[in-house]
Amino acid sequence: MKINLTLFGTLLLIFFTVDCNSQDKGIQIDYDKVKVIESVYVIDHNGIDIKQQPDVNSKTLGKYNYGEQLDIIEINKGWLGVRDRITREYEEDGHKIESTGWEKVYVQENQTGKLSNIQLTQQDLNVIISLTKNGKTEHFVNGDSLTNYLKFELIDRIAFLSKKSTSVNFLLSDTTPNRKKNGKIELFCEKKNKLYIDKPNEEVEAQKYSYIGQIEFLNKYVVKGSYYESSDYKLIDKTSGEETQTLAEYPYISTDKKHIICIYANPYEPAGDVELYVIKDKQTILVISASFKNWMPAIEKEDIFWSTDGYLYVPALHVKAFWNEQGGIDDNYQYIRIKPL
């Protein structure tokens, strides 16, 4: 039988083109019908390549970053099938078209692990995503290293606990003489008293105040303000009755009484936010505020403390491991100490 080679070649080309297009579409899945076997996390600090097939030579579709949670729908001889929304580009009539849909993609199993495997390294600590100084803010999409102003060290739990007995605190919690009455706090000052009144029923303009105490060497009262979606700490001069500073968080005062650090977890970024103040002539001056890319402080303020060695000691978590799988703050803490330069 004589074969028409031209026709055969045409059919082969058509088959090859269809097969390639089919492969390029990936393994499409029905989100509602596939079953998630387990959730794992990326534990390779360099991230994981997303592969179209369970093969190192398969097409790479992108990368999962360190700490990302992956929904696993298949386990395949050292490879994990992941449920994900993939965006692909096609060319039709000379135009690029984007299409997004649910697919099964693959990662190597040995680059994944449990939430507890997500850990901070020393190199993670000083990476920032924003910096504010002199009233100007810079943003760093890919992160930048903060090499001035503050020194960071990763320490173990034993070192953290050993320093608790050397902690210092200059904020006197004398709540009795300034107890709130009927939703009002009146601070007695030499020239004029300062009054704070709660407005609990104002919805977005709601405000509630708590007397925290006083910093005697600064001659300041400290009052916390809680609002609809924010809070702050106010310093009030005990002589004039005026507010002299509004801080983003609880003021931790250094052992030498030269600095204040305010530190708090920002779940919206997410990031660890830090404000550094210098104390001069009984006044507090903001030096910088920065958002740290990789970590957030954990627990409550009483677990953060200054030691007589001049460091601020902070329990912390990697931002990707801050929340546990039940939605609360994870308790697999690491520990950082911070010192002004």
Query: How far, in Å, CA of 243 to CA of 237, rounded?
Result: 6
What lies within 8 Å, CB to CB, of 247 at 6+ separation is 232, 233, 234, 235, 260, 262, 275, 277, 284
CA trace torsion 55, 58, 64, 65 (10° rounding):
90
Prediction pTM value: 0.85
> How much is the average pLDDT of 208-234?
94
Gap between the Cα atoms of 89 and 268, Å rounded: 31
CA atoms within 13 Å, Cβ hemisphere of 304: 25
Q: Among residues 298, 67, 295, which one has the least CA distance to residue 160? A: 298
b/e for 111-123, b at 16 or more Cβ within 10 A?
bbeebeebebeee
∠ at Cα 208 (291, 302), nearest 5°? 50
Reduced to 3 states (helix: H, G, I; strand: E, B; else coil), residue 200 is: coil
pLDDT at 204 (0 to 100): 80
Q: Round to whole Å and give the CA distance between 253 and 231.
A: 19
d(CA 130, CA 272): 11
Confidence class for position 299, pLDDT limits 50, 70, 90: confident
Q: What is the structure's pLDDT at 200?
A: 86
The answer, yes or no, to whether residue 276 has pLDDT greater than 60, is yes
pLDDT > 70? residue 320: yes
Rounded distance between C-alpha atoms, residue 239 and residue 282, angstroms: 12
pLDDT at res. 301: 60
Per-residue pLDDT at 14 exceeds 60: no
Between CA 211 and CA 196 the distance in angstroms is 10
Q: Higher-confidence residue: 276 or 324?
A: 276
Per-residue model confidence as pLDDT tens digits over 38-81: 999 999 999 999 999 999 999 999 999 999 999 999 999 999 99
Report the C-alpha gap between 119 and 303 in whole angstroms: 20
Residue-wise pLDDT for 211-223, tens only, equals: 999 999 999 999 9
Q: What pLDDT was estimated at residue 89?
A: 84
Single-letter amino acid code for the residue at 219: N
> What's the pLDDT band for 11 if we cut at 50, 70, 90?
very low
- pLDDT higher than 50, residue 10: no
Structure tokens at 31: 């989100």
Q: What is the mean pLDDT of the chain?
A: 90
Of 294, 301, 330, nearest to 146 (Cα)?
A: 294
Per the CB < 8 A criterion, the answer to whether 46 and 65 are in contact is no
Confidence grade of residue 3 (pLDDT, cut at 50, 70, 90): very low
pLDDT band of 16, cuts 50, 70, 90: very low
Report residue 8's pLDDT band, with 50, 70 and 90 as the boundaries.
very low
Decide if pLDDT at 12 tops 60: no
